[in-house]
Amino acid sequence: MIEAKNLTKKFGKQVVFKDVNFKIDDGEFVSIVGRNGAGKSTLVKILMGLEKKTSGKIEMDHHEKIGYVPQFRNIDLDYPLNIEQFMRLNLKFTLNPQKRRQNNKNVQSILQQTNLMDLRKRPLGLASGGEKQKAYLAQALVGHPKVLILDESTASLDVDVKVQLMNLVQKLNREHGLTVLFITHDSDLTKRYTKRALLFENHSVESIGVDEISEDMFE
């Protein structure tokens, strides 16, 4: 579970959000929506320990591990790693034979889950946009996260590819109880895959049903 209690973040005199309260239960699939600059990315940085809160509390059960899938980004054609090697960047190096076997088994399992087994030797720079995003997802999963953050991960992807990625995340959510925070400007995907959203607006956060979401909330 993730719970914010009177959470406030300021940069100097600029208030990002103030006295925010919300709760996300284990296994929930929640959208985080709002206009640019409303504080969505700042919240993610606080959750990941990359930014300090100004005041209030943010509580997470058992210091939950977080997996992070970023927005689509171009990767040089001559990027030196293939998809499987890129995944393994998120593994801790070990000389212990037993742990190495466990890591290999884990990698094989995630390649299967993300439908990347047949593509595992493909150079990442030559992969399609959807394949790159699946590789980022696979890399996040290698760390056995309890919480998965999709940070505009479907932006710039074709509609069919967006749906493929989100179907995959939905399956992980349902079958493995993975808590998912979906930061997005896509109202259609929000309504299709989540039941509620945290709306960042006017320095505050409100929990709303996805049927209450309108396009002007993203502009």
Beta bridge partners of 5: 57
Q: Does 84 lie in the same domain as 59?
A: no
Q: Does 100 lie in the same domain as 9?
A: no
Distances (CA, A) of 60 to 65, 106, 120, 143: 10, 25, 34, 17
pLDDT tens digits, one per residue of 143-187: 889 999 999 988 888 899 899 999 999 999 998 889 999 999 888
Tokens representing 136 are 């980022």
What Rg, from alpha-carbon coordinates, does the chain have? 18
* Domain membership of residue 123 as a residue range: 75-145
Q: Is 144 helix (H, G, I), strand (E, B) or coil?
A: coil
Task: Decide if 170 is inside a domain.
Answer: no
pLDDT tens digits, one per residue of 52-109: 999 999 988 756 689 999 887 778 888 899 999 999 998 888 888 888 888 899 999 9
172 phi/psi in degrees, rounded to 5: -65, -40
**Model pTM score:** 0.88
Task: Decide if 172 is inside a domain.
Answer: no
58: burial class by Cβ within 10 Å (0-12, 13-18, 19+)? middle
Task: Decide if 171 is inside a domain.
Answer: no
